[in-house]
Amino acid sequence: MAKARIGLQLFLENLIGSRNVYFQPPPSFQLKYPCIIYNLSDINNTHANNNVYVREKMYTLTVVDADPDSVVSEKVSKLPMCSFDRFYTADNLNYFVYTIFY
């Protein structure tokens, strides 16, 4: 059974030692850097006996940091069931995008 989203929130806050973890923040919200922004991107259901047997939620995690050698990104990259997707820069910030099943 998939863990609740709030469990992921608390796990990420503990991982980076900060409350700068945001779930789908509105565009007008003032972020504090470095931070992690995450959102639900997919749900994989495994069926057995005409029922959902296993449900895995996939999230997109974006680490935003002014430092191109981000310590937060390094920590996220070492998580189980996590894979690097892409990197880009915008507004003098570095964006590290990952996908994770949780």
Q: What is the pLDDT of residues 23-56, one digit of tens each?
A: 999 989 999 999 999 999 999 899 999 899 888 8
Cα–Cα distance, 86 to 88 (Å, whole number): 7
What's residue 3's pLDDT?
62
Calculate the alpha carbon distances from 58 to 33, 42, 76, 81, 100 in Å. 24, 5, 15, 10, 6
Domain tally for the chain? Answer: 1
Residues of the domain holding 69: 5-101
Element counts in the chain: helices (H) and strands (E): 2, 5
Quick check: 2 pLDDT over 60?
no
- Give the domain CATH number at 85: 3.30.2000.30
What's residue 55's pLDDT?
86
pLDDT > 70 in the chain, percent: 97
**What mean pLDDT is predicted for residues 62-88?**
96
Enumerate residues 6+ apart whose C-beta is below 8 A from 46.
52, 53, 54, 55, 56
> 93 is written with which tokens?
């910030």
